[in-house]
Structures are given as C-alpha cells and as structure tokens.
Amino acid sequence: MFKILKVLILLIFISSSVLSQELKLDLKTSNYSKKIKNGAAEINVSGGTEPYSFKWSDKETSQSSFIADGLTEGTDYKVVVEDADGLKDSISFVIPAESADERINSFFVPLVGGLEKVLMFDIFKALHLYNPVLHDDQGNILKYPNGDIKTMTIPFVVIWLIFGALFFTVKMKFINFRGFKHAIQLIRGFYDKPKDAGEVSHFQALTTALSATVGLGNIAGVAIAVTLGGPGATFWMIVAGLLGMASKFTEVTLGVKYRNIDEDGRVSGGPMYYLSKGLKKKNLGGLGKVLAVIFAILVIGGSLGGGNMFQANQAFSQLAGKFAPFIPGIEGYGAYFGILLAIFVGIVVIGGIKSIANVTEKIVPFMAFLYVLAALIIIGMNISHTHEAFSLIFNGAFSAAAMKGGFIGVLIVGFQRAAFSNEAGVGSASIAHSAVKTDRPVSEGFVALLEPFIDTVVICTMTALVIIFTGFYDPSVAGSYAGVELTSRAFDTVFPWFSWILLIAVILFAFSTMISWSYYGLNGFKYLFGRYFGKRKVTKNLYLISLVYYIIFLIFVVIGSASSLGAVVDFSDFMILSMAFPNILGLLILAPEVKQDMKQYLNDIKTGVIKRFK
C-alpha cells in the first residue's frame, strides 16, 4: 500500500512538472480606429522558462516584443512563442475588419498577393542563378525585426520592361538618341499642317501624356529609390529613362497609325486598337482581340485607382498634414475636399481631350519649370559638393554596398522606379498621343520619345540630386522621413518655405494626372462598351458611354479623398504594371512594321516630301 502511494505521489509530481513546462498563450486583439492598418495584438505567456522570444508573421515586429501593432485588419497572422529551453507553441489570429475601409481593404489584400506573385516573380531566384540574401558590409546576414532573412528580388515585370526597352533601342537603331533633335523641331511646330486629322497639337499631346507621368513618382518615388538603393540608383534611373525613349517611340507610332477617327472627328486610339487591328494583319486576329480586351480592362482599373483614388488621397493627405496645426480635425474633411476636386476634374474632363490638353499644356510646363528651377538653385548653392555627389552616384552604381543588394540590387531599384514613373512600355501614353493632328504616325513617335527624357532624365534626376546634395540619402540624416516628406525636407534645408510650393505641386500634379488618366480609362471603357467592340454595337451613343464612365470616375475621386486606400491602390498599381504584358508582346510582333515606317518617314524628310513650314 505504501509503495502504491509513493508511485502516485511521484506521478503527480511528474505531471505537475510537465504541466508547468507547457506554454499557455493568451492573445488579445485591438482595433483602435476605423482606419486600415491600425490593428494590434498582445500576447500573454505563462509556463515554460523565461525569457520568451516571439516570432511574429509581421516582419516589422521585434522578436522581443509581446505586442504587435500596425497590423492589417482581416488578414491572417501567426505568432510562434519560444521559451529559454526551446519549448515552442503558436497561435494564429485575425483582427476583425469593422469599418467599410477595413472590409474593402481586406477584400483586396489576397488579390494584391496573387498579382504580386506574378508581377514580382523572380525567375533568376527560382533558377538559383544568384543568391538573393542580403548582407551587411561585414558579411553578416541582414534580418527583419521579426527574424526573417532580408532578400532582394528581381521582379519579372521590370525584366520585361527592360527587355522591351533594350530590344526597341537596338531594333530602331538607337532612335532615342538620333531622333532627339527632330523631336524638338516637331513640338516647336516646324512641320505642323493645320489641316491634318486629329484634335490636338504635338505639344498638347506631349503635355497631356506627361501630366499622367510627371507627379508623385518624381517626388516620392525617387526618394524611395535613393533610400533603398543609395545614390547609385540615380545612375540606373537615367539609363532606364534613356532606354525607355525607344519604347515610347514604338508604342505611340502604332497608337497613331491604328487610331479610329469617327464621322464627328473624335479620335479613339491606344494599345486596344493596334493590338486588335495590327495583329489581325499578321493573321493573329484572335490573339490581338484577347490582348486588346485584357488591356482595356486593365487601363480602366488603373484609371480608377492609381490614376484617380491614389492621386486624390495623396493630395488631401499633403493638404491635411500642412494645415493640421491651423485647422484642428482637418483629417475628417476628406470627403469635402474630394467633392471640390471632383467638380474641378469634371469641368475639365467633360470637355474631352481638347479641354484636357488645354489645361495640361499650361499646368505641366509651369510646375515642371518651377520644380526644376528650385532644384537647380539648391544644386547651385551646393556646387562645391559636385565632385563628391557624382562620385557617390557612379561608385554606388557599380560597387554598391552589400546591404543594398550590390550592383544588381541598385540596378533593379533604379530601373524599377524609372519604369513606374515614366510608364514606357505600359502603353498608356499612346492613348493621349493618338489624338494628335498629324497624318504621319511616326512624327508623333518622335515627340513621345521626349517623355521619358523629361520625366526621368530631367525631373527625377533633379529630385535625386537635391536629396544627395543635401545629404538626405544618408539614413542618419533622413531619419524616419520617407517619400514626399523626405523630398520636402531636403528642399526645406535651403528654402524653409518650399514645403508650401511642394504642396501646390503635389495637388496640381495629382490634378493633371487625374484628368489625363480619365481620358485613358474612358478610351478603354469605350472600346469595351462602345461602337468599336468587334462587330457588336453595344451602343452607338458615345455621349452616354462617356457620361457613365465620368460619373464613376468622379465618384472614385471622392472615395479616394475620404478613404484609407491600402490594398485597393496596390491592386490598381499592379493593374497598371500588368498593362505592360499585352502591350510589349504586341509591340514585339509589330516592331518590324514600325521600323519600316520610320525608314520611310526619315527618307521623306531627307528628300523634302515632308515639308517644313517654319
């Protein structure tokens, strides 16, 4: 009996010891506001042996922290807890999406994840052609706060855009350099004929297309590039801009060549038309129609998100941030700002491409001149640092620090930000240029090649140089500033009042981007639902089609101003990038045709068939 009692006591002792070693996890979630990415989770641990470490699926949460914040509502998260003896346990959780913003965002998060896997797929990593792991200068592996290893990525969409730009540069025999002088002559009107078919001049078409690209990408995107890739990213941005000129030349030439002009003189053009009509001539009509429909869907989505909601949201965010000290609670006035902005946008876009061109030809040159002038003044005041700045750029381009991903990492960052900014190869600009007054499509191709030069080689480079000259490329100087705020702080070092000018620039650039993208989206909408959708005539009333689209577009202006966007705009941005796949595929097939047209055009210039009027 005594032996049995001893055994029972021993079993009780062993079981209590085991139970005391088990980890018991209690997790509580919080949702502080109706804004997205404002969730938090706190985990309490009992049992095991302290200290505990926490492996959160959120990369920005430290392994020593039992609290994670800034979490996205409606998204699956997980935390793995480990004690000092190596005992582990985990718990999964979701912060419930409560507000409309949070529910919408949680719906788009998985869609963004799916698109990101395709667009950002790294084929070189998949084939084990390079080591993607990032190291510091001492060779130590870099990690996120949660312990995950930092890696670099060579996105497939960027490779696709670079491949296209290189191919068209070689195929067109470096027209991006040879054609520069003639492009300047064209926008100055040396070859303009008043009776040419179309709706706008060469200069107006150029400014309309530029207004869709010159904007937040030049201000915020460049700051991101220099922060991520260091000064060396500037060099590769310039290279990408120069190569992208050939892509713009090719797509715009085709856009004008295959445009539709109705009996009222209204023009419809862009990739939808040269993909369907151009590939049909190559006995690839089925493929062309599929690519055209895909492109039309993508351009509509891009026009409502990245070309609309994001612009309105950022414009109001900058305005609210600047006036917050003077107007308490201004953050809640987004809807009113959106309504006012929608009225101004509506006044312009309802007038069609002529009205849009009349506005952009005034806004774009003015803001670009003001911005570049301020940048040149800052560079001039720091002219003694020129040698040092350019040494940083060139050394950083070819011998970047390991933590930046080395040579390849900096190259990809530079090319990626340039591609996202000038949209060369995406096909959107060919829609605006299709409305030009000309009977020679190649002439507008020459004009279009100036866009990446102005957008990337000039304006983006000016932004980068200001950041480098003022020292804000250095994280120790930049601190927590990023994007637009980083650029603003760099300018403020010389002009303390420049943040007000930058505020005006952001609003005007956002406004001009919106009115240009409304035209892009409208053309996609008309292609799908208007008279040119194959042999079906859904409706001949293009006025009704336009009205329906514009109402939708203006509603999204208000939504963008009043909402936290998150994954909605990420999804739209990916749609814009996705436009490059059907577009460049079509351009590669039609490139020989463009080359032949270019040869004929240059010969006609040389022999005097095309006359100069000035």
> How does pLDDT run across 532-547, given as a tens digit for each residue?
444 445 555 667 778 8
Please tell me the distance from the alpha carbon of residue 134 to that of residue 119, in angstroms, as a whole number. 21
DSSP for 116-149, please give it: HHHHT--HHHHTT-S--B-B-TTSPBPB-TTSPB
pLDDT at 384: 79
Which stretch of DSSP H or E encloses residue 80?
strand 76-82
- Domains of the chain, CATH where assigned: 22-98 (2.60.40.1080), 156-607 (1.20.1740)
Which of 31-40, 225-234, 358-367 shows the lowest mean pLDDT across its residues? 358-367
Residue 333 DSSP code: G
Q: Rounded to two decimals, what is the model's pTM?
A: 0.81
Q: For residues 283-312, give the mean pLDDT.
A: 87
**Which of 358, 339, 342, 353 is CA-nearest to residue 526?**
353
Please tell me the distance from the alpha carbon of residue 561 to that of residue 348, in angstroms, as a whole number. 19
pLDDT at 212: 61
pLDDT at 533: 46
Please tell me the distance from the alpha carbon of residue 610 to that of residue 608, in angstroms, as a whole number. 5
**Which pLDDT tens digit goes with each residue over 91-124?**
898 888 887 777 777 777 787 777 778 777 878 7
User: 561, exposed or middle or buried, with CB in 10 Å at 0-12, 13-18, 19+?
Assistant: buried
pLDDT at 535: 46
Please tell me the distance from the alpha carbon of residue 14 to that of residue 32, in angstroms, as a whole number. 44
Whether 479 has a pLDDT exceeding 70, the answer reads no
Cα angle value 137/139/141 (rounded, 5°): 110
Cα dihedral 217/222/228/230 (nearest 10): 170
Please tell me the distance from the alpha carbon of residue 614 to that of residue 596, in angstroms, as a whole number. 27
| Token digits of residue 255 | 């856009």
User: Tokens 């005391």 appear where?
Assistant: 20
**Which of 282, 284, 315 is CA-nearest to residue 512?**
315
pLDDT at 187: 77
92: left (phi over 0), alpha (psi -120 to 50) or beta: beta
pLDDT at 154: 78
